[in-house]
Amino acid sequence: MREKLGVFGGIRGIRIFRLFGIFRKFRGFGKFRKFRKLRKLRKLRKLRKLRKFRLFRVWTIAKANHTSQLSVLNSQFVKSSIIIIFIMSDRGHFGSKLGIVLATAGSAVGLGNIWRFPYMTGHNGGAAFLMVYLVCIFLLGVPGIISEFIVGRHGAANAARSYGSLTKHKSWRLVGYLGILTSTIILGFYAVVAGWCLQYLFASLMGQLQGDAAYVQQYFSEFSSHPLKPCLWAVAFILLTHFVVVRGIRNGIERASKLLMPILLILLVIIVIASCLLPGAVKGVEFLLMPDFSKLSGSVFLEALGQAFFSLSLGTACLCTYASYFNPQTHLARSAVEIALLDTFIAVLAGLMIFPAAFSVGVTPDAGPSLIFITLPNVFHQAFSAVPVVGYVISVMFYALLVFAALTSTISMHEIGTAFFHEELHAPRKRAAWVLTVVCSVIAVICSLSMGACPSLRLLGLDILDFCDKLTAQYMLPTGAFLTCLFVGWVVPRHIVRQEYTNGGTLSGTFYRAYLLAVRYVCPFAIFMVFLHQLGIL
């Protein structure tokens, strides 16, 4: 199908026609005669009325950027072509295949892998949790990612509009709204932890993290309960994200990911080697890799499910938004598997970095969210006390790594809301980004204050950060993923799913049937069962 469109010299006009639901009527797109017919279609006229105001802008964009492409078109079609160009110009695209994988993997790899995964694993008994987690990633996560990719690339718009454009039932837009809401809340509390990382990077550079266990513990509790400092670091982090996001897709997000992801991987491997060489490190490796199934319980399943979705950035339309910038040639299923593998690999590496070191110095791995902030400085200090410079370098590297990982993820969360406000409120991208920055900063400040400075700020007995974390990871993300699977499995016309999966028939569609089975039955059923279990019904 896409080849036929080549007549437009690479213009991805197809997206518009799909966007307005007239794709099927338009198979002969390559021929101008039929193209003229298209203009008669009511939907397009309606579109023009609707977007009169934006069309004006189109003219200018078209004149400025696309003269060469315009020249290939017959003059009588120019008017219609402008609409095409307008929609295309309005959205960015990733520049390369590597950029796509790295940016999406950059979204997936973050504090979820390096901060959340180790403390969840430590808290839920080690290797047994890891096993359940792996099942969740590959059985539920991969089909979930492919589904979001399908919705996103086909819709080629912000999350809400993408969901709405694939069906007549506009209520499915709500899934997109849910995703945007979830990612905004996540960005709020995530930025608090990312802010701690920034502060720790600064502190380790200044050599302030050197001291015994009691000192490090006190350092963390004093810092995290300070009324101002953590709030400022969190807001600083959101601003940092903001400035990458406003630079757009190719210059901002893609370039940052291409630079940061490889650095992250190299740093991680160095620290894993250092950690595994410590005396007594084997116990930590055993803790992570030798399962004790007696530790499995219902809540382990729910936490593993939440962690898997959180770590893959699934269930908030984040991947859907990124997929809207994909190229028509992107192999969706393969990219999904690559991302899941890379994400899991990094989570396991993070486990191999933390547990051997923690066991080596006799620290218990179930300290909760503060694990990497309390135990690790201590580990670095004790483990490398013979050569203090190594300890210093490793700890600076570690916190730099955390900041990089967090940044590529916060960028993706920010992008969901920015794309939404930009396209739905017709606000310039910069202003749209500011709206999100302000909202998230408010959430971040509330979360941060409830961690100590205002202990009365609590919900259901949890501090706000913990509350937001549980609410989103255990309820909102699985709900989003559940609905997305139902949507793609049962609501979206089958030929669209197939066409996206196989890139319009150009790919063989290996595992297509298995994917359909997973997305229609296995994923919704499994997520539903975990929910029932949590509610005590099962």
Question: By CB under 6 A, is residue 310 in contact with ligand TRP?
Answer: yes
What is the rounded CA–CA span in Å between residue 141 and residue 380? 34
Nearer to ligand TRP, 113 or 499 (CB): 113
What is the rounded CA–CA span in Å between residue 105 and residue 456? 38
3-state SS class at 459 = strand
Question: By CB under 6 A, is residue 321 in contact with ligand TRP?
Answer: no
Question: What is the separation of C-alpha 114 from the centre of its chain, rounded to a whole number of angstroms?
Answer: 15
Minimum distance from residue 422 beta carbon to ligand TRP (Å): 18
Nearer to ligand TRP, 47 or 191 (CB): 191
Nearer to ligand TRP, 148 or 500 (CB): 148
Among 107, 321, 330, 503, binds ligand TRP (CB under 6 A): 107
Minimum distance from residue 199 beta carbon to ligand TRP (Å): 18
Nearer to ligand TRP, 305 or 413 (CB): 413
What is the rounded CA–CA span in Å between residue 340 and residue 24? 33
Among 316, 395, 479, 503, binds ligand TRP (CB under 6 A): 316
Question: Among residue numbers 483 through 522, which ones bind ligand TRP (CB under 6 A)?
Answer: none
Question: Among residue numbers 184 through 243, which ones bind ligand TRP (CB under 6 A)?
Answer: 186
Minimum distance from residue 310 beta carbon to ligand TRP (Å): 5
Query: Of the ranges 92-100, 247-255, 281-289, 305-313, which one interacts with ligand TRP (CB under 6 A)?
Result: 305-313
- Residue for token pair 């967090």: 406
Question: By CB under 6 A, is residue 324 in contact with ligand TRP?
Answer: no
Nearer to ligand TRP, 278 or 468 (CB): 468
Query: Of the ranges 11-19, 38-46, 282-290, 406-414, which one interacts with ligand TRP (CB under 6 A)?
Result: 406-414
Among 165, 183, 375, 450, binds ligand TRP (CB under 6 A): 183
Nearer to ligand TRP, 5 or 103 (CB): 103
Query: Who's near 147: CB < 8 A, 6+ residues apart?
Result: 484, 485, 487, 488, 489, 519
Among 412, 418, 474, 479, binds ligand TRP (CB under 6 A): 412
What is the rounded CA–CA span in Å between residue 463 and residue 454? 10
Question: What is the separation of C-alpha 469 from the centre of its chain, rounded to a whole number of angstroms?
Answer: 15
3-state SS class at 508 = coil
The answer to whether the CB of 373 falls within 8 A of the CB of 355 is no
Q: How many angstroms separate the Cα of 420 from the Cα of each of 317, 321, 412, 432?
A: 11, 9, 13, 8
Nearer to ligand TRP, 323 or 413 (CB): 413
What is the rounded CA–CA span in Å between residue 114 and residue 311? 10
Minimum distance from residue 108 beta carbon to ligand TRP (Å): 5
Query: Of the ranges 109-117, 211-219, 333-341, 432-440, which one interacts with ligand TRP (CB under 6 A)?
Result: 109-117
Question: Among residue numbers 59 through 98, which ones bind ligand TRP (CB under 6 A)?
Answer: none
What is the rounded CA–CA span in Å between residue 190 and residue 308? 16
Question: By CB under 6 A, is residue 110 in contact with ligand TRP?
Answer: yes
Minimum distance from residue 407 beta carbon to ligand TRP (Å): 11
Minimum distance from residue 524 beta carbon to ligand TRP (Å): 19
Structure token pair of residue 271: 């620290």
User: Which sign, positive or negative, has the C-alpha torsion 228, 230, 236, 242?
Assistant: negative
Structure token pair of residue 361: 């110095």
Among 375, 409, 474, 534, binds ligand TRP (CB under 6 A): 409
Minimum distance from residue 490 beta carbon to ligand TRP (Å): 24
Among 113, 275, 375, 418, binds ligand TRP (CB under 6 A): 113
**Which amino acid appears at position 238 of this protein?**
I
Nearer to ligand TRP, 409 or 503 (CB): 409
Nearer to ligand TRP, 310 or 380 (CB): 310
Number of residue whose CB is nearest ligand TRP: 112
What is the rounded CA–CA span in Å between residue 175 and residue 171? 8
What is the rounded CA–CA span in Å between residue 336 and residue 339? 5
The answer to whether the CB of 245 falls within 8 A of the CB of 430 is no
Question: By CB under 6 A, is residue 311 in contact with ligand TRP?
Answer: yes
What is the rounded CA–CA span in Å between residue 26 and residue 536? 51
| Number of amino acids touching ligand TRP (CB under 6 A) | 16
Question: What does the angle CA 153 – CA 156 – CA 161 come to, to the nearest 5 degrees?
Answer: 115
Nearer to ligand TRP, 275 or 472 (CB): 472
Question: By CB under 6 A, is residue 112 in contact with ligand TRP?
Answer: yes
What is the rounded CA–CA span in Å between residue 183 and residue 174? 14
Across-strand partners of 459? 462
Nearer to ligand TRP, 85 or 114 (CB): 114
Minimum distance from residue 143 beta carbon to ligand TRP (Å): 17
What is the rounded CA–CA span in Å between residue 311 and residue 538? 26
Structure token pair of residue 72: 């290939």
Among 19, 231, 407, 413, binds ligand TRP (CB under 6 A): 413
Nearer to ligand TRP, 275 or 409 (CB): 409
Nearer to ligand TRP, 181 or 259 (CB): 181
Question: By CB under 6 A, is residue 350 in contact with ligand TRP?
Answer: no
Nearer to ligand TRP, 70 or 308 (CB): 308
What is the rounded CA–CA span in Å between residue 500 and residue 493? 11
Query: Ramachandran region of residue 9, left (φ > 0), alpha (ψ -120 to 50) or beta?
Result: left
Question: By CB under 6 A, is residue 471 in contact with ligand TRP?
Answer: no
The answer to whether the CB of 316 falls within 8 A of the CB of 484 is no
Indicate the pairing of strand 458-459 with strand 462-463. antiparallel
What is the rounded CA–CA span in Å between residue 334 and residue 501? 10
Residues in touch with ligand TRP (CB under 6 A): 107-108, 110-113, 183, 186, 310-311, 313, 316, 318, 409, 412-413
